[in-house]
Structure 1
Amino acid sequence: MKFQPIVPMIWTKELQKTVDFYCDILGFTCGNQSEEWGWAAVSKDECEIMIAEPNEHTPFERPYFSGTFYIKTDDVDTLWNDLKDKVKVAYDIEDFDWGMREFAIYDNNSYMIQFGQDLWKK
């Protein structure tokens, strides 16, 4: 048995605005979207995120997540320079003792997304 990569599903009451944020700001591509289902899948390279409107089985008043979405990249500095003036920044780019250079932003729903690069693999 082999596990596949985790694909987070985020909930939103603004499906199209969320798809647009990930595609227009972060450079993802929308591979599939259904207004009828209230669902979309966006991806960039090996990273995929599903976006869904909450249904009757989903208790949902506002976006929440008790952690962050952490996306590793091979050029965090270029990404930082491209995004920092287009998004709400959670924290600026910084080198951390655990060997990662990273920064964090908020998407249009206030979900935090961290981007990091392994300093020892640069």
Structure 2
Amino acid sequence: MESLSPNIFVTDITATINFYKLLGFEVTMTVPEQGPDFVWVMMAKGNVTFMFQTLESLADKLPQISRADGASLLLYISVKDIRILFDQVKDKVTVLKDLETTFYGATEFSILDPNNYVLTFAEHQPHDNV
């Protein structure tokens, strides 16, 4: 295996695009190619890629797919310069957990996206090999 790019089902794809742009993600591909009525979009920032898709676009092909807003999914995203990112977004998003250092040495914060998914951003400090 080489990579994982989750395809996340959303209710409002335009709000989702705008939210992830606030976090610095860029749209890399859409279906259809021209908007405004997208049913699928790929967004990326660095090595992190997300695909977002409307439930309606797959209702006939995969009727087994269903979810309540947010389901039980937390996306854990490793970043550099976490304090800069936190300062850039804290007043523009719903912060669930403020910036803190965990017992395992990571600095983290958690936010809520417009589809009620939880995003936790973490910066891990290098370990000294003693």
Q: Same fold (TM over 0.5)?
A: yes
Distance between the aligned counterparts of 2:70 and 2:51, measured in 1?
15
Q: Retained in 2: the 8 A contact 1:40–1:51?
A: yes
* Counterpart residue type for residue 73 of structure 2: G
Distance between the aligned counterparts of 1:115 and 1:88, measured in 2?
14
Structure 1 residue 60: Cα displacement: 2.8
Match among 15, 18, 28 for residue 17 of structure 1: 15
Q: Which runs of 5+ in 1 are unaligned?
A: none
Seq. identity, %:
26
> Structure 1 residue runs of 4+, over 4 Å off?
none
- Name the SS of the counterpart of 2:126 in structure 1: helix
1:16-44 CA-partner distances (Å, limit 9, x unpaired): 21112111x11101001114771110000
Q: Which runs of 5+ in 2 are unaligned?
A: none
Distance between the aligned counterparts of 2:4 and 2:67, measured in 1?
25
Matched, 1:45 2:43: no
Distance between the aligned counterparts of 1:78 and 1:64, measured in 2?
26
| The 10-residue stretch of structure 1 (106-115 or 28-37) with the greater mean CA deviation from structure 2 | 28-37
Where does residue 120 of structure 1 map in the other structure? 126
Structure 1 residue 99: Cα displacement: 1.2
Q: Retained in 2: the 8 A contact 1:12–1:62?
A: no
Distance between the aligned counterparts of 2:38 and 2:91, measured in 1?
33
Q: Which has the larger radius of gyration?
A: 2
Structure 1 residue 61: Cα displacement: 5.3
Matched, 1:29 2:26: yes
TM-score using structure 1 length: 0.88
Structure 1 residue 13: Cα displacement: 1.9
Distance between the aligned counterparts of 1:61 and 1:117, measured in 2?
30
Q: Retained in 2: the 8 A contact 1:39–1:50?
A: yes
Where does residue 75 of structure 2 map in the other structure? 69
Aligned length: 118
- Name the SS of the counterpart of 2:77 in structure 1: strand
CA RMSD of aligned residues (A): 1.7
Q: Retained in 1: the 8 A contact 2:13–2:38?
A: no
